[in-house]
Amino acid sequence: MEKLILEEETLVEEQSTIFDKPLISPKNFDWVKDEVAVLIFHTPNDKFEICGKSMLEWVELACAKMQTQILQEVGDENLLSTIREHSQNKNIVLVLYSDTPLLQQKTVLNILDYFCCKNMNALILPRGFVFKNEFLQNSNEVASPVRKSFAPEEFEQIANAEQISSAFEVLQSRIRKFHQHSGVILKGENTIFIDADVQIEKGVVIEPFNVIKGDSIIEGGVVLKSGNYIEGSLIKSGAVLLGKNVIGGKEI
């Protein structure tokens, strides 16, 4: 059963006719679990739900491999002391904000890889920071830190109705592509809406104008013809639905 997990992007191995081993090996990011503390500062409206997850939950998903703390947002005058206080004795401290739901795990991992490879002390992100903890504990201010723009569109602050609508379209596109790559057939995909925690097995066919929400599970061989609304339900293998409302496992 496939479930939406936005994992990091690994490098494709390039085969060589000279050497036995690939020229490029996929990166292993297991080290972040032990080395990185993630602090996510609360922002207004971060509980607003987009595609079945709050904005805060989307940011947490991007940091799924790491130990994460959720903190109340503080002013600039207290920022460094707050970060220092919650650094958890990890070597690296990543600071993010909960109003950037478009942030992806592969971007977070690329940032941490860059930070370590460059042996940096401090890095300013489009919205957030990375610090070496040893530097942070011994500094009262950060003078002239490096700025780098990693995927700035993913760090966009989502604060108003127009931005929420745009974020919805981006996240829906990612969810649809995830299921298509897993072998789900979407017909008229721009009219199909799927929440992040929905599980859909390979071979399912979904026709236009379907909405699938919550923790629904769609088993293999199901055909969802037009006009279904499914929420928090299991649709068993082989079922064919047309114009049905199924909520909590019951047809309404």
* Helix/strand/coil (H/E/C) assignment for every residue in 106-170: HHHHHHHHHHHHCCCCEEEECCEEEEEHHHHHCCCCCCCCEECCCCHHHHCCCCCHHHHHHHHHH
- Distance between CA atoms of 38 and 232, rounded to whole angstroms? 31
The residue type found at 8 is: E
Tallying the residues shown for the chain, one arrives at 252
* DSSP 3-state percent helix, strand, coil across the chain (nearest 5): 25, 25, 50
pLDDT of residue 64: 87
Q: What domains sit in the chain, N to C, each tagged with a CATH number?
A: 1-179 (3.90.550.10), 182-251 (2.160.10.10)
The lowest-confidence range among 16-20, 145-149, 228-232 is: 16-20
pLDDT of 8 higher than 80: no
Residue with tokens 């780098």: 148
pLDDT of residue 31: 85
Q: Are 240 and 218 in contact (CB under 8 A)?
A: no
pLDDT of residue 9: 37
- Distance between CA atoms of 62 and 98, rounded to whole angstroms? 11
The 3-class SS string of 28-51 reads CCCCHHHHEEEEEECCCCCCCEEC
- Rounded to the nearest 10°, the torsion over CA 134, 135, 136, 137 is 50
Q: Max Cα separation, the chain?
A: 64
- Distance between CA atoms of 211 and 172, rounded to whole angstroms? 12
The helix/strand/coil state of 214 is coil
- Distance between CA atoms of 128 and 130, rounded to whole angstroms? 7
Measured over the CA atoms of residue 137, residue 142, residue 144 and residue 145, the dihedral's sign is positive
Whole-model pTM: value is 0.85
pLDDT of residue 250: 87
Q: How is 9-22 classified by DSSP, letter by letter?
A: PPPPP---SS-SS-
Reported as a single tens digit per residue, the pLDDT across 69-104 is 999 988 888 888 899 888 878 899 999 999 999 999
Average pLDDT over the chain, rounded to an integer: 87
The residue type found at 5 is: I
Q: Look at strands 229-231 and 210-213 and give their pairing.
A: parallel
